[in-house]
Each structure stands twice: as structure tokens, then as C-alpha cells.
Structure 1
């Protein structure tokens, strides 16, 4: 798979996630946040399990204790992100949530620098600023005062950044993207259900009331989109992945206008343009630099 194809997979994942924000918000009219998280991710784990088993039969790399640790850490990061985002949606708007969640586009390169001692391509920094600015403009540039939900979503963005970074590292080492998907879904679902059993009431009526949202985010936002993310990240960098995945806010606004007759503020169109420009820059500039370097090697004299 080429890097362009991988980034297109990440773009598709972002489009699916964009449609999931409304489902996540409306589901809590019928069911508690942790029951919702637990059920959606267990459905996702079951959906991906057959593909994981097929992948395991063909795998050439044996699973080591380090790999198991990486699966666990990625699953815990996913649980942290899902929990704080879902709890945040109780006291913040979908617009604010999509904007603040998009801050992971800044946190990912920071994690790469601080923890991995890995400097991203220079274009990532202006690209990240452009992407976050674009998400902000999608809201009309008028966010309400920060609420508890907003602060929880900031924490969510940190968890998402950790999950993106860990997923890239794990897939690079294991070569098993679907195994990672299944593991992180199962870990997140199990953690959420443990919390839900202790803290939240449940009934069949609640599950039936939230069933459409649970199935959408379980099969598509979780099962399909996260698997696309894991597969795509195998062939691109975490920083570039973050740029493309941040377009979920763009798709959320577009799907809201298309399906719910919501209107986009005038600044929102500028935001869309900024996000598309950011994605083009992080795709084209490194590729041009790579080709220029290859041409330089070919044209250099052979001194051997």
C-alpha cells in the first residue's frame, strides 16, 4: 500500500467518525455513557474478530510480551479517549467537542518529540496549525466559555494523541493491524462495562432506545473506522495520520448540513479550505522532498 492510499483510508475513517458525533450525543438520552461505550466496543471487537483470526493464521511474526504490553497500552489509551469524550458530550456541544477533540493534531507531534525523540517533517507544524485553525473556523470562531465537558474533551484529545502514536508503533512492530484493532476494542469495552456495572443503571428499554446509535458507532465508527486507522497508519507517519484524521470535524459539519439541514457559518467554508490545504501540504511537501533527495543521489558522482 502506498502512503497516498494509506492517507485516503485515514480520510475515510475521519468521514465515518464525523457522522458519529451526533450519534454519540443523542444516545445518552436513553443510556448511560459507560454502557454505551462498553456495548459499542464489544460489538466492534466481535465484528473484527473473524478478520483477526484470519490475519493470525497468516502472520509470520510471533507475539511477544512487548507486543502484549503495546496492545494493552493502546487499548487503555482508547478507553481514556472514549470515556472522556463521551462524558464531555453530556455538558458540551457537538461543535465544541469536535473542535477540541481535533487538538490531538497538535499533541501527536509533541508526543513524538518529547517521548520518542523523533522530529516530524517541518511541514507538520504549519499543517497542524492550519488544521486546528480550520476546525475552529468550522464553529464560526465563536466557542462558548469552557465548561467541564470542554475540559474533559481536552483530556480526550491527549488520549487520542497517545492512541494514534501507540497504534503506529504497535502495527510497525507486530505487522498485525486487525489483531491490534480487536485487542483495543475488547480492552476498551471491558473497562467501560466494569465501570458501567458499578455506576450506571441499565434496562432493556435503554438498550433498545439507543440501539441505532450503538450499532452505528459499534460497527462503523468503531469496527470499520478504527480498523481503517490502524491499517492506514502502517504506511504513514503518526503526525500525518493526525492531520488526516482531524478532518472528522469537517465531515461532521458537512453531514450535519446534508442530513440534518444544519447551516455552516461563512467562516466554516474558509475552515474547510484550510483543512484541505493542510492535508495537501503534508502529503505533497514530504513527497517532493523525497523525490528531490532521490534525484540528488542518482545525479551525484560515484566516488567509489
Structure 2
């Protein structure tokens, strides 16, 4: 492949992340329906406990070699999943989807800076350009309503949810390649689920009345969550946090596409926003390379 087109090539790991991001974006309608029949912490607990049990069936042989390192890494990532998904679901009870999308999108430009601050690893310059383009696109997708923020409980908890989302992406990259894939997936999913159930009595949330709506949604999202986390753990062994974040920022784009199929009208601004997100993904692949001057001697 010519060198000037090499940046367009995507590895299997990146294609896998794009695929799970599409699945991720498609869960919005399911969660929206489930929230009409269940409280947020019970549903998040059900979702990730089911995902954890499925992962145990898949990786049951790995459990015999469980180490304290596996437990610590999985629990730390699980804590981030619990905080991110739990608070985001809690916020969606009182704010509309466009406002939630705009606030949650704040994690996109935060990841490169968090990586820089905590690990002294400066991302490539184009990673910041890609993050900026993706964030601008997400703002357009959210629509004008996103700028009318009153910062009530829903807005506040959604803003806070961006911090554990950043933490999850960074921690997965930190532990990827060092810890057994099956063990860390089991621990992080079960940690998120059990912590969510444990939160119910603290906030006064009871077990909802039986409904096939939350049962079906919980099992279905449990399966998808298992696939999503397993893929993230595998792919981020070789995909940087900044690059992965740009790909994950496509979640609202897929949600908008699925919403359109379901009958929702997609505004022109949202279409432009989707194009900007795609441009952000492509821009993040570019690398600025300084070519040596022809007269510069070769020091190799």
C-alpha cells in the first residue's frame, strides 16, 4: 500500500472497536424502555451481573489461576464501569437524550489530557485534532437543546459520569497485555454488577415489579455488555487510549442512525455532526512526520 494511503488502513482491533461502538449506540432505545419499568441501579446491576455470569461460562477454566493482580485490575476497571454506567443511567431519568449525549461527550477530549497528566505520555498531535473534531460533531448531534443547561441533578450526575468513563478507558489500556483476558473480564463485570445492587438500599431503591421489559432488556444488554468489555480488553492491547476514545465517540452517531430507522427525524446539523465524528476518526490516524532534508547526513 502506498505510504500516503497507509493511514487509511485499519487493523482488526480497530474494526472490532467500531463494531462494538455500533452495538453500544444501539442500546439507547433498550435502556430507555427499561427505565420505564425499573430503577437505574437495579437495572445496571442486572445488566452487568448477567454479563459477568456469561463471561464465567466462557472463561471458567481461567478462574483456577486467578491472582491478586487479576482481582485488583478487574475490580478497579469494574469500579469505573459501575460509576460511569450507573450515573449516566441515573441522569437519563430526568434529562433528555440530547443533553445527556452532549455532557457525556466531554470524555472525548478528556482522555488524551488524562493520559498526558497521569502517565506523562503525550499523545500524537493529531489525536488532539481528532478529539476536537469528534467533540464538535457530538455537540451538533446533541442539538441546540444541549446548550440550555440548568445543571440540575440529572446534568450534574451525567457530568460526573464522564470521569469514570475516562478512568475505564485509561485503566483498560494500562492493564491490557499484563493480565489474563478472561479473568479481568469476569472480575470487572461482576464488580460493576454487585456494586450496583449494593447501591440500591443506600439510595432507597427497591426491586421493581416483575416485567418482561426489564428482564429481556437486562439479559440482552448483559450479553452485549459481555461482548463489548471483552472486545475492549482485547483490542486495547494494541490500540492507544486516544485512538480508542475517538472510535468510541461514534456511539451517538450510531444511536442517531438507529433512531432514524426507528422513525426519528435526523436534523441536518446532526448529519454534519456525524461527518465531523468520522473526520475525527480519520484525523486521529494521521501522523505528522518530519522528513529529513536531502542534505542532512544519515546518522543511522
Distance 1:203 1:126, change over 3 A: closer
Could you tell me how far 1:5 is from its partner in structure 2? 1.4
2:216 corresponds in structure 1 to: 212
Distance 1:53 1:139, change over 3 A: same
Could you tell me how far 1:56 is from its partner in structure 2? 6.3
More deviation, 69-78/190-199: 190-199
Distance 1:111 1:302, change over 3 A: closer
Point out 4+ residue stretches in structure 1 off by more than 6 angstroms: none
Q: What is the CA deviation profile of residues 77-107 of structure 1, one whole-angstrom value per residue up to 9, with x for unaligned ones?
A: 1111111111111111122222322221112
2:284 corresponds in structure 1 to: 282
**Does the alignment pair 1:101 with 2:104?**
yes
Query: d(CA) in 1 for partners of 2:142 and 2:44?
Result: 26
1:181 corresponds in structure 2 to: 185
For residue 4 of structure 1, the aligned residue among 2, 5, 11 is 11
2:176 corresponds in structure 1 to: 171
For residue 79 of structure 2, the aligned residue among 76, 79, 93 is 76
**Does the alignment pair 1:273 with 2:280?**
no
Could you tell me how far 1:235 is from its partner in structure 2? 1.4
Query: d(CA) in 2 for partners of 1:54 and 1:4?
Result: 29
For residue 261 of structure 1, the aligned residue among 263, 277, 281 is 263
1:236 corresponds in structure 2 to: 239
Query: d(CA) in 1 for partners of 2:109 and 2:101?
Result: 14
Query: d(CA) in 2 for partners of 1:173 and 1:90?
Result: 38
2:255 corresponds in structure 1 to: 252
- TM-score w.r.t. structure 1 length? 0.86
Could you tell me how far 1:172 is from its partner in structure 2? 2.8
**Does the alignment pair 1:92 with 2:95?**
yes
Q: For residue 145 of structure 2, give the secondary structure of its aligned residue in structure 1.
A: coil
Aligned residue pair count: 287
Conserved? CA contact 2:48–2:190, under 8 Å: yes
Could you tell me how far 1:67 is from its partner in structure 2? 4.1
Could you tell me how far 1:3 is from its partner in structure 2? 6.2
Consecutive unaligned residues of structure 2, counting only runs of 5 or more, are 1-8
2:194 corresponds in structure 1 to: 190
Conserved? CA contact 1:139–1:265, under 8 Å: no
Query: d(CA) in 1 for partners of 2:43 and 2:197?
Result: 9
Query: d(CA) in 1 for partners of 2:27 and 2:127?
Result: 27
Query: d(CA) in 1 for partners of 2:56 and 2:297?
Result: 51
Q: For residue 50 of structure 2, give the secondary structure of its aligned residue in structure 1.
A: helix
Conserved? CA contact 1:80–1:159, under 8 Å: yes
Query: d(CA) in 1 for partners of 2:10 and 2:22?
Result: 18
Could you tell me how far 1:54 is from its partner in structure 2? 4.8
Conserved? CA contact 1:85–1:156, under 8 Å: yes
Query: d(CA) in 2 for partners of 1:125 and 1:22?
Result: 31
Could you tell me how far 1:300 is from its partner in structure 2? 7.8
Conserved? CA contact 2:66–2:183, under 8 Å: no
For residue 58 of structure 2, the aligned residue among 43, 51, 60 is 51
Q: For residue 284 of structure 2, give the secondary structure of its aligned residue in structure 1.
A: helix
Q: What is the CA deviation profile of residues 44-68 of structure 1, one whole-angstrom value per residue up to 9, with x for unaligned ones?
A: 01112233235668xxxx7654443
- TM-score w.r.t. structure 2 length? 0.87
1:15 corresponds in structure 2 to: 22
Q: What is the CA deviation profile of residues 91-142 of structure 1, one whole-angstrom value per residue up to 9, with x for unaligned ones?
A: 1112222232222111211211111111111111111111011011112343
